[in-house]
Structure 1
Amino acid sequence: MESVIILVFVMGYLAITLEHSIKIDKLIPALVMMAICWALIALGLEGFSQWFDSSEHVLLEGFGSFTSDDKMHLMEETLLHHLGKTSEILVFLLGAMTIVEIIDYFDGFSTIKDFIKTKKKTKILWIFSILAFILSAIIDNLTATIVLISILQKIVKDRSIRIWFAGLIIIAANAGGAWSPIGDVTTTMLWIGKKVTTGHLIGYLFVPSLICMIVPSFIASFLPVFKGDLEVEEELETKKKSKFSSTMLYLGLGAIVFVPIFKMITHLPPYVGMMLSLGVVAIFAEIYSSSKFSLTEFDSEESDAHAHHSPVHQSLSKIELPSILFFLGILMAVAALESLGILFNFAESLQDSMPMLGTEMHQGSHKGVSDLVVLLLGVGSAVIDNVPLVAASLGMFHEPIDNELWHFIAYSAGTGGSMLIIGSAAGVVAMGMEKIDFFWYLKKISWLALLGFLAGAAAFMVTRTLF
């Protein structure tokens, strides 16, 4: 049964990558794959001999001897656990996307657009790469990608050129997210799991992450697509700017930055802070638009009337729900593989086939082989998903807090996902926002991401000797 589930996952994955060839939206195979994988688990529950407890990050012993009722109860709990964790990300994403849409409603991104005086493509490339690197560390790589691609859409009108910029934004955002405890889901997992501390994480990973961003941007600046100046449409210059543009931009970004602060103070999940931030931004948006609006409208005529005036209602209507559901399908399908211990066994097979990393990482031949294991983890995070792979590593390795192993895992899992467009949350969102083709990204951007990943990894191997 496990082989059948893996086969379903592979076929679903292929259908997602071949979206433009088979003319079926990637949302459909993602949801079908997720549902079938969990249905097969439910039907074959009696035959499984192992189960991965995601809440404890350990493989349960003696699962085969559990009663049918115990197995079913455990499966339901696991499914609920994964749905809860996935929903946290989706609700957080919905809040961030709505705030971005509200800022856009007031033309707030024109404020940043006004700061970018240059029309030279290489300068714009570096401006966006640096912004992505810094913003992702503060507001996380997912939100930073949403914000910057929204700004990019206002500045670069030619989509064939814009998707190149978007590809470099994905690389820079993932690099920026790796050195911050709140910049990426995986670094947050390691931080909350007491495997890394903020000071050491920044110390170990800032320089490697910076190099991971600089190398692809530097190489890309020599590519023909980034030569010359942007063509600006004259009618765009005459567009009247809202008097609340700057206010809403700073309020919206400030509200997003407030989310990790709220989390550190209250220890509540980030989506709670994001909902508070959305509520505050929505209040100001309603006041500025002088529109009476309730989030719950029962009078359809009144609701329709408000839809034309309320920035909140209009922003909610512009949310990319297909992208949200696609994210749900992917994460829950990967969760199915994780629950059966398939990902855990994959990571363990790497451990068994190569000399294991441990306290002897700086002694003898263990160092090179150990590095290869973690680099393969980075490649694996691009192919599958970095979250379950890091979750598996939390259960496998037992090194103390701030051991260099955890920091290298944070770097590899965080930046390795840039090598494929569906290898990271930032890439998935960019794919949805710009309708970027999987194979276009593979041909045009993946090699840049690989070079940046390897350059940053080499830098880590040097900088770790300083600690």
Structure 2
Amino acid sequence: MEALLILIFALGYLAITLEHSLKIDKLIPALVMMAVMWALISLGIDAFPNWFDSAQHNLMEGFGLLDHSRKMELMEETLLHHLGKTSEILVFLLGAMTIVEIIDYFDGFSTIKDFVRTKSKRKILWIFSILAFFLSAIIDNLTATIVLISILQKIVKDRDVRIWYAGLIIIAANAGGAWSPIGDVTTTMLWIGKKVSTGHLFGYLFVPSLLCMVVPSFIASFLPVFRGELEIEETEEKKKSKFSSTMLYLGLGAIVFVPIFKVVTHLPPYVGMMLSLGVVAIFAEIYSNTKFSMTEFYADESDAHASHSPVHHSLSKIELPSILFFLGILMAVAALESLGILFNFAGSLEEYMPMLGTEMHYADGSRGVSDLVILLLGVGSAIIDNVPLVAASLGMFHEPMDNELWHFIAYSAGTGGSMLIIGSAAGVVAMGMEKINFFWYLKKISWLALIGFLVGAAAFMVTRTLF
């Protein structure tokens, strides 16, 4: 039965990668794969020997001895747990995307567009890479990607060129998220789990993460697509809203407020994002010139905005297919995690791969973990998903807080996902916003991400000797 589930996941994954060849939107195989996998788990619950306790990050003892009704209860609890965790991400994403659309409603991004005076493709590449690196550390890589691609769409009109920039933004955003406790879901998991501290995370990972961004951007700057200047379309300038700058700073400030809210209240990030969305929406409604009644609409703004409040208009612009795709892929991975498949896979890697680098020994006599295992975990995070792999590592490894192992896991899981476009939340969002082809990314961007990943890993092996 486990083999069948893995086969269904592989077929669904293949259908997602062949989206453009099959002419089937990627959300369809993602949702079908998720539903079929959980249905098989429900129907064959008695055939599974293991069950992964997500709360304890370990396999349950004696699961095979439980009666059918208790197993079904556990399955329902686990399904609800994963739906809750996935919904946290989706609600957070909905909030961030709505704020970005509200900013765009008031032409807020034209303010940043006005700051980018250069037409040089190479300079614009560096501007967006550096912005993605630092912004992702502050507001997380997912939100940073949404914001920067939204700005990019206002500056670079040629989609064939723009998707190259989007690919480098994914690499830079994932690299920037790795050295901040709020920059990526996996580093947040390790931080909340008391495996890493903010100071040591910065000390261990800032330089490796910076190199992971700088090296691919440097190599890419010599590629033909980034030579010369952008062709600016001569179009009639649309009248800029007088509130554009105000809404830009308010919107970005509201997003930056989210991690502060989380630290102060210890509530999940989506709660802070909903508060931020509410505040931004209040000002949007106040600033909007749109006035409407039950039967008539009057507007001083453009026709596109005439029949909507800013919030309604912004919600209608959100990429819901991307949200549903995210739901399908995360819940499908959760199915593999729940049966302990990912946990056992990670354990097999640790047991059978040869030890590389310095072998560590601890007071309890346990041996250290191979650098190769952690690098493979990074590669695995691109293929599957970094969240369950890090969740499995929390139960597998028992090193103390701020041990170099945890920081290497944070780096590998955070940046390894850049090697495939569906290997990270930033990549999935960019794929939805720009309709980037899986194989285009694999051919054009993956090799740059791999070089950056390996250079950063090598740098980490040097920086860890300094602590």
Q: Could you tell me whether the CA contact under 8 Å between 2:181 and 2:187 is conserved in 1? A: yes
Q: Which residue of structure 2 lines up, in the alignment, with residue 229 of structure 1?
A: 229
Q: Which residue of structure 2 lines up, in the alignment, with residue 275 of structure 1?
A: 274
1:37-436 aligned at under 5 Å gives the runs: 37-235=37-235, 238-291=237-290, 308-354=307-353, 360-361=359-360, 370-436=370-436
Amino acid at match of 2:288: S
TM-score (norm 2): 0.95
Residue deviations 1:251-273, cap 9 Å, x none? Answer: 00000000000011110100000
Q: Could you tell me whether the CA contact under 8 Å between 2:156 and 2:162 is conserved in 1? A: yes
Residue 334 of structure 1 deviates from its aligned partner by 0.0
Q: Which residue of structure 2 lines up, in the alignment, with residue 2 of structure 1?
A: 2
2: distance between equivalents of 1:157 and 1:268?
Answer: 40
Residue 160 of structure 1 deviates from its aligned partner by 0.3
2: distance between equivalents of 1:258 and 1:270?
Answer: 10
Pick which of 305-314 and 129-138 moved more: 305-314
For 2:11, what is the secondary structure of its paired residue?
Answer: helix
2: distance between equivalents of 1:283 and 1:414?
Answer: 35
Residue 357 of structure 1 deviates from its aligned partner by 9.3
Q: Could you tell me whether the CA contact under 8 Å between 1:98 and 1:316 is conserved in 2? A: yes
Amino acid at match of 2:143: T
For 1:361, what is the secondary structure of its paired residue?
Answer: coil
Q: Which residue of structure 2 lines up, in the alignment, with residue 464 of structure 1?
A: 464
Residue 362 of structure 1 deviates from its aligned partner by 8.8
1:309–1:39 CA distance, 2 compared to 1 (3 A): closer
1: distance between equivalents of 2:418 and 2:344?
Answer: 24
2: distance between equivalents of 1:20 and 1:99?
Answer: 30
Residue deviations 1:166-217, cap 9 Å, x none? Answer: 0000000000000000000000000011100111101100000000000000
Residue 355 of structure 1 deviates from its aligned partner by 5.5
Residue deviations 1:210-259, cap 9 Å, x none? Answer: 000000000000000000000111215x2221111110000000000000
Amino acid at match of 1:331: L
1:356–1:345 CA distance, 2 compared to 1 (3 A): farther
1:41–1:234 CA distance, 2 compared to 1 (3 A): same
1:355–1:304 CA distance, 2 compared to 1 (3 A): farther
Q: Which residue of structure 1 lines up, in the alignment, with residue 302 of structure 2?
A: none
2: distance between equivalents of 1:68 and 1:223?
Answer: 59
1:327–1:220 CA distance, 2 compared to 1 (3 A): same
Name structure 2 gaps, 5 residues minimum: 300-304
Amino acid at match of 2:63: F
1:249–1:50 CA distance, 2 compared to 1 (3 A): same
Residue 351 of structure 1 deviates from its aligned partner by 1.3
Pick which of 3-12 and 303-312 moved more: 303-312
RMSD (Å), alpha carbons: 1.9
Q: Could you tell me whether the CA contact under 8 Å between 1:358 and 1:399 is conserved in 2? A: no
Q: Could you tell me whether the CA contact under 8 Å between 2:356 and 2:372 is conserved in 1? A: no
2: distance between equivalents of 1:395 and 1:272?
Answer: 28
1: distance between equivalents of 2:325 and 2:296?
Answer: 32
1: distance between equivalents of 2:349 and 2:263?
Answer: 36
2: distance between equivalents of 1:291 and 1:81?
Answer: 42
2: distance between equivalents of 1:331 and 1:308?
Answer: 36
Residue 341 of structure 1 deviates from its aligned partner by 0.2
Residue 290 of structure 1 deviates from its aligned partner by 3.8
Pick which of 240-249 and 452-461 moved more: 240-249
Q: Could you tell me whether the CA contact under 8 Å between 1:133 and 1:173 is conserved in 2? A: yes
Residue deviations 1:352-378, cap 9 Å, x none? Answer: 103679994399xx87x7110000000
1: distance between equivalents of 2:271 and 2:96?
Answer: 12
Residue 61 of structure 1 deviates from its aligned partner by 1.1
Amino acid at match of 1:390: V
Name structure 1 gaps, 5 residues minimum: none
2: distance between equivalents of 1:445 and 1:195?
Answer: 32
Residue deviations 1:425-451, cap 9 Å, x none? Answer: 000000000000000000000000000
1:25–1:255 CA distance, 2 compared to 1 (3 A): same
2: distance between equivalents of 1:130 and 1:174?
Answer: 12
Amino acid at match of 2:271: V
For 2:238, what is the secondary structure of its paired residue?
Answer: coil
